[in-house]
Chain A
Amino acid sequence: SYELTQPPSVSVSPGQTARITCSGDALAKQYAYWYQQKPGQAPVLVIYKDSERPSGIPERFSASSSGTTVMLTISGVQAEDEADYYCQSADSSGTWVFGGGTKLTVL
């Protein structure tokens, strides 16, 4: 199995841009997915296939990919964006892995 590495925490002020990275060797060949999880709630898919946004997800959520690193960007952060964010990818054996998660704090 392989690992996806995320920073444990990111802090931004309201209105600023938050950037959360996720790195792992498999990301060079596999798509990345991003989930938002608020306390006591199930995760919500916010990005799929590296940079696609599901319907209903605000446009301020975007993502990019470069080699073995992917980045989730939240522009114009709002207080409601405070949550844990997880990246996810697959490996060639058909299994999935999540990153360790990043706690986004809106100051």
Chain B
Amino acid sequence: EVQLVESGGGLVQSGGSLRLSCAASGFTFSSYWMSWVRQAPGKGLEWVANIKQDGNDKYYVDSVKGRFTISRDNAKNLLYLQMNGLRAEDTAVYYCARENGYCSGDNCYSWGFDYWGQGTLVTVSS
């Protein structure tokens, strides 16, 4: 059974840092792109960042570029999101999600985010 379990959320002051973790199990973690998606209280989904299978390609939404860093440890089946310079607007539930699909050479094809964790709440106080 595929499982994604996030941890590391909590209350932090504006300007502070947090590192989120996502423990993956039930599938070959190193074979999939992985994403972080957040949802502010009462708001919609916002994609935050993703990382390629080998960790060499990473993409970010503009609002977190230079502040957040996505990484992974394929030996430990762990996905991370290092969040620095946190702002009140970063307050949200953060989900990790598996991107189903495959890559052929330099081209990657997605079948959507087929598994999600239950999320971890990050609250940034101003």
Binding site for B on A (CB under 8 A): 1, 31, 33, 35, 37, 42-45, 47-49, 52, 54, 84, 86, 88, 90, 93-101
Residue of A35, A42, A44, A86 with highest tally of chain B CB at under 10 A? A42
In the complex, the answer to whether A42 meets B47 with C-beta atoms within 8 Å is no
Can you give 11 A-B contacts (C-beta < 8 A)?
Answer: A35-B45, A42-B116, A45-B112, A45-B113, A48-B111, A52-B111, A84-B44, A94-B59, A97-B47, A98-B44, A100-B44
Task: Give chain A residues whose Cβ lies under 8 Å from the Cβ of B100.
Answer: 48
The prevalent SS among residues of B at the interface is: strand
Task: Give chain A residues whose Cβ lies under 8 Å from the Cβ of B57.
Answer: 94
CA distance A78 to B66 in the complex (A): 45
Task: Give chain B residues whose Cβ lies under 8 Å from the Cβ of A1.
Answer: 61-62
Task: Give chain B residues whose Cβ lies under 8 Å from the Cβ of A54.
Answer: 112, 114
Instruction: Verify if B29 is at the interface (C-beta below 8 Å from A).
Output: no
Q: How many A-B residue pairs have CB under 8 A?
A: 63
Task: Give chain B residues whose Cβ lies under 8 Å from the Cβ of A31.
Answer: 110
Q: Which residue of B lies closest to A33 (CB)?
A: B112
Query: Whole-angstrom distance from the CB of B120 to the nearest CB of chain A?
Result: 11
Task: Give chain A residues whose Cβ lies under 8 Å from the Cβ of B113.
Answer: 33, 35, 43, 45, 88
Q: Which residue of A lies closest to B113 (CB)?
A: A45
In the complex, the answer to whether B45 meets A43 with C-beta atoms within 8 Å is yes
In the complex, the answer to whether B44 meets A101 with C-beta atoms within 8 Å is yes
Instruction: Verify if B123 is at the interface (C-beta below 8 Å from A).
Output: no
Q: Which residue of B lies closest to A45 (CB)?
A: B112
Instruction: Verify if B118 is at the interface (C-beta below 8 Å from A).
Output: yes
